Amino acid sequence: MSIPHLIMNASLVVQLVMLLLLAASVASWVVIFQRSFALSRARKAQKAFDERFWSGVDLNELYRDVPENYEAQGSEHVFRAGFREFNRLMPKTRSSEAVLDGVQRSQRVALSREEDNLNDKLTLLATVASASPYIGLFGTVWGIMGSFQSLSMAQQATLSTVAPWIAEALVATAMGLFAAIPAVIFYNRLSSIASRLLGEYEDFAEEFHSILHRNLQGRGGNPAA
């Protein structure tokens, strides 16, 4: 008895459970590929910006030298948000503390947005990973209940009487695990990458804040790395 045959001959409730698990599995794989690509691109962008920032380039030049309609991400987003606020506040106040506080607030906002971007859709993987086994278990329980009902109506209790019900119940369990296991694995992996990148962004924000602080001590020339 093949698996497609079991699915086609399963009860309506178990078929709905299987359909839901299949949809959850497809959705989780879409998220896995999307987020893997996005995080890979974020790591490359982070490495490229780090190399340029620490090369000694003038920060004003680094801030101005961007293509049209360019959308910064990662540490570059944090840098641009902080440096924009720095340039806005410098002509308005002589207080270094006020300037640095403004820069820090802008950086926190940028970091919050980057954290949201890094963790985008990962909650879906967590939901699939945690809920799928229980949804599959529900299908299993329903199938076993059907087997007992068929057994009670049968004149003679044989394995052939209950086997189809038990088989469809086990298929529901298997589909629940099929949906949950990849979701668990990739949720942990992608969350780890996202956390590591966010840590790098936060470290850069602290380092950049220190650079501006040193430059403000003299209030002399343009800030430079």
CA distances in angstroms from 192 to 106, 164, 199, listed in the order given = 26, 43, 11
pLDDT value of residue 120:
92
Cα gap 167→140, rounded to integer Å? 9
Q: H/E/C letters for each residue in the chain?
A: CCHHHHHHCCCHHHHHHHHHHHHHHHHHHHHHHHHHHHHHHHHHHHHHHHHHHCCCCEHHHHHHCCCCCCCCCCHHHHHHHHHHHHHHHCCCCCCHHHHHHHHHHHHHHHHHHHHHHHCCCHHHHHHHHHHHHHHHHHHHHHHHHHHHHHHHHCCCCCHHHHHHHHHHHHHHHHHHHHHHHHHHHHHHHHHHHHHHHHHHHHHHHHHHHHHHHHHHHHCCCCCEC
- Each residue's pLDDT, cut to its tens digit, for the chain (225 residues) gives 566 666 676 678 878 888 999 999 999 999 999 999 999 999 999 999 999 999 888 888 888 887 656 788 999 999 999 999 999 988 887 788 889 999 999 999 999 999 999 999 999 999 999 999 999 998 888 877 776 766 666 566 565 666 666 777 788 888 999 999 999 999 999 999 999 999 999 999 999 999 998 888 766 544 544
Backbone angles phi, psi at 31, to 5 degrees: -65, -40
Cα gap 68→153, rounded to integer Å? 75
Backbone angles phi, psi at 154, to 5 degrees: -80, 145
pLDDT value of residue 45:
92
Cα gap 69→10, rounded to integer Å? 54
Task: Give the angle subtended at the CA of 18 by the CAs of 162 and 172, to the nearest 5°.
Answer: 45
pLDDT value of residue 221:
45
The model carries a pTM of: 0.82
pLDDT value of residue 68:
59
pLDDT value of residue 162:
63
Contact present, 10 and 18 (Cβ < 8 Å) = yes
pLDDT value of residue 133:
93
pLDDT value of residue 6:
64
How many CB atoms are closer than 10 A to CB 48? 12
Query: 224 pairs with which residues across the strands?
Result: 58
Cα gap 198→204, rounded to integer Å? 10
Cα gap 4→15, rounded to integer Å? 11
pLDDT value of residue 109:
96
